[in-house]
């Protein structure tokens, strides 16, 4: 029996690759007749829900986050640290895994340190081209650091790093295009644009899509994942827009699908139905797009940790993705770049697919199932 503990929390960018690794471990164990006891330790409703959906054993641990700006929450979170430490020590003691794998969010630091105190080997994965603070800390005692971008290797000891790419969930690649078009009630008469700001949505992208919507709908049908926090404002805007212009209202009803959040099966359908993707530059999004071989317009967050989204986007642009920084983002530029990419969609998609790492989860699983 090999016991493996996966640790994570935060947003989808950390959680979804963790789920992908869990799936890869289960498949590797099945193919190699290895008996596995796989569990997840994490913080937050999001990861708990993901574990329930994937039938993974889950234990909760309190998360403590240090913000780089002044906030009363920093002082509150300081009080959470001893509680999280005791919880982590307790859960790990009773499970006593052979290996601990973390995804580098702030929720991973204390469990990773607890594992270190029990002399349990720790492995971590860095999704971005510029690592976050959590992974820089964890890497100091980790046995191996898996990285998605070759450029991230300069931040870690060479003998520790393994270039794997970013793991993507297997279910994302199983949807059928015709079935997906029917699911979104599209007739296939226009090219489909899938817009995503990540699991939480992106206000800047939402605003530019709404501003450009009348022009976009003349040429395309749109699936728009706008985020739970933004869906109400989006719906109010398109309702007002439709009332002011019956012709636009008809185009909205026929060709625009605003959605707060897409669960994995629906996200798979959105990718399958789409001809091109507009996205943020989070690693999870970039590698999903690459694995699907979709032309893409990437709009990185202008101010992210270590400017990692801009660096991610520039790495991706070497394979044919178009990058538009927020300061240059206008409806005309966006529409122009969509048209340019779709003129050579097949060629661009093939080039982008060269960036893909469909075996990332498998490579991580093989190490976790064999090293101690």
Task: Please give the biggest Cα pair distance in the chain.
Answer: 67
To the question of whether residue 264 is assigned a binding role by annotation, the answer is no
Residue with tokens 């204390």: 110
DSSP secondary structure of 270-301 = HHHH-SEEEE---HHHHHHHHHHT--EEE---
Measured CA to CA in angstroms, residue 75 lies from 1, 62, 82, 107 at distances of 42, 15, 13, 16
To the question of whether residue 49 is assigned a binding role by annotation, the answer is no
**Nearest-5° angle of CA 217, CA 223, CA 226?**
110
> Which residues make beta-bridge pairs with 256?
222
To the question of whether residue 102 is assigned a binding role by annotation, the answer is no
Question: For the chain, where are the alpha helices, taking DSSP H only?
Answer: 12-31, 45-53, 72-95, 109-117, 133-139, 177-183, 203-219, 231-244, 246-255, 264-273, 283-292, 308-317, 331-343, 345-353, 360-368
Q: How far is CA 11 from the centre of its chain?
A: 8
To the question of whether residue 169 is assigned a binding role by annotation, the answer is yes
To the question of whether residue 253 is assigned a binding role by annotation, the answer is no
To the question of whether residue 170 is assigned a binding role by annotation, the answer is no
- Going by C-alpha positions, the residue among 193, 204, 256 that lies closest to residue 227 is 204
CB 124 within 8 A of CB 108: yes
Please state the residue numbers annotated as binding site for UDP-N-acetyl-alpha-D-glucosamine.
Answer: 11-13, 169, 199, 309
Please state the residue numbers annotated as binding site.
Answer: 11-13, 169, 199, 309
């Amino acid at each position: 029996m090999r016991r493996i503990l996966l640790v994570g929390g935060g947003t989808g960018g950390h959680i979804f690759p963790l789920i992908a690794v869990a799936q890869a471990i289960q498949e590797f164990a099945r193919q190699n007749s290895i008996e596995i006891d796989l569990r997840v330790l994490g913080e937050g409703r999001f990861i708990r829900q993901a574990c329930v959906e994937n039938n993974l054993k889950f234990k909760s641990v309190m998360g403590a986050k240090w913000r780089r700006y002044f906030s009363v929450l920093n002082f509150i979170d300081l009080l959470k640290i001893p509680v999280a430490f005791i919880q982590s020590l307790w859960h790990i003691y009773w499970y006593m895994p052979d290996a601990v794998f973390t995804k580098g969010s702030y929720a991973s630091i204390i469990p990773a340190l607890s594992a270190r105190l029990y002399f349990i080997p720790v492995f971590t994965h860095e999704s971005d081209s510029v690592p976050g603070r959590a992974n820089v800390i964890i890497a100091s005692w980790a046995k191996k650091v898996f990285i998605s971008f070759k450029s991230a290797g300069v931040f870690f000891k060479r003998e520790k790093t393994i270039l794997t790419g970013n793991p993507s969930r297997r279910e994302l690649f199983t949807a059928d295009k015709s079935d997906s078009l029917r699911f979104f009630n599209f007739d296939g008469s226009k090219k489909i644009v899938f817009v995503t700001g990540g699991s939480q949505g992106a206000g800047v992208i939402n605003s530019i899509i709404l501003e450009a919507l009348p022009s976009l709908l003349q040429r395309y049908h749109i699936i728009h994942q706008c985020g739970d926090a933004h869906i109400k404002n989006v719906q109010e805007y398109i309702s007002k827009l439709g009332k002011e212009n019956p012709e636009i209202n008809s185009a909205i009803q026929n060709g625009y699908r605003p959605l707060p959040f897409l669960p994995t099966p629906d996200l798979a359908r959105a990718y399958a139905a789409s001809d091109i993707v507009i996205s943020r530059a989070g690693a999870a999004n970039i590698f999903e797009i690459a694995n699907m071989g979709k032309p893409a317009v990437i709009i990185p967050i202008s101010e992210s940790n270590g400017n990692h989204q801009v660096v991610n986007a520039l790495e991706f642009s070497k394979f044919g993705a178009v990058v538009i920084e927020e300061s240059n983002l206008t409806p005309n530029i966006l529409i122009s770049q969509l048209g340019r990419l779709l003129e050579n969609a097949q060629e661009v998609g093939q080039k982008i697919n060269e960036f893909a790492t469909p075996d990332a989860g498998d490579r991580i699983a093989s190490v976790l199932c064999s090293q101690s």
